[in-house]
Structure 1
Amino acid sequence: MYLTLLNGTGYVFDVDDYMELRIKYRIVGALVGTANSKGWSSSEAALPVELTKCETQLLIDEGLAMLVSKAASLMKSPTPEILQEYQEDFAARLKAQADSLKAEKLRETERHVEKILSGKRNKLLKQGKSDEAAALTPQSVIQEVANNFEFDHQNALVELPCPHLAKHTAQLWSDPICDRDSLKYRVFRDLWGRGKFVTCGDAFGADFLIYPGDPLLYHASHIVIIQSTPAIRPLELISKVRLSVIVNKSCVFAYEAADEKTIVYQTVAWCNPSK
Structure 2
Amino acid sequence: MKIHLTLLNGTGYVFDANDYMELRTKHRIMGALVGTANSKGWSCSEAALPVELSKCETQLLIEEGIADLVSKTAALTAPPTDEMVQAYKAQFEASLMAQADALKAEKLRETERHVEKILQGKRNKLLKQGKPKEAAALTANDVLQEIANSVVFERQNALVELPSLHMTNHSARLCTDPVYDTSSLKYRVFHDLWLRGKFVSTGEAFGADFLVYPGDPLLYHASHIVIIQDAPTIRPMELICKVRLSVIVNKSCVFAYEEVESSKIAYQTINWCNPSK
Q: TM-score, normalised by structure 1?
A: 0.79
Residues 116 and 274 (structure 1), Cα distance of their counterparts in 2 relative to 1, 3 Å cut: farther
Alignment partner, residue 165 of structure 1: 169
Identity %: 69
Alignment partner, residue 247 of structure 1: 249
Deviations along 1:92-136, one digit per CA (max 9) or x if unpaired, are 223323432442343234334456678x67x979xx956699958
Question: How does 1:135-146 map onto structure 2 within 5 Å?
Answer: 135=135, 142=144, 145-146=147-148
Question: How does 1:2-151 map onto structure 2 within 5 Å?
Answer: 2-34=4-36, 36-113=38-115, 135=135, 142=144, 145-151=147-153
Residues 271 and 144 (structure 1), Cα distance of their counterparts in 2 relative to 1, 3 Å cut: farther
Displacement of 1:63 in angstroms is 1.8
Superposition CA RMSD, Å = 3.5
Deviations along 1:20-39, one digit per CA (max 9) or x if unpaired, are 22222111212223354554
Question: How does 1:177-196 map onto structure 2 within 5 Å?
Answer: 177-196=179-198
The structure with more radius of gyration: 2
Displacement of 1:40 in angstroms is 3.5
Residue 79 of structure 2 aligns to a residue in which SS?
Answer: coil
Which structure has more RCO (C-alpha within 8 Å, separation ≥ 6)?
Answer: 1
Q: Number of aligned pairs?
A: 270
Residues 264 and 91 (structure 1), Cα distance of their counterparts in 2 relative to 1, 3 Å cut: same
Moved more, 101-110 or 218-227: 101-110
Moved more, 145-154 or 226-235: 145-154
Structure 2: how far apart are the matches of 1:93 and 1:4? Answer: 25
Displacement of 1:195 in angstroms is 0.7
Task: Report the AA paired with residue 14 of structure 1.
Answer: D
Task: Report the AA paired with residue 169 of structure 2.
Answer: L
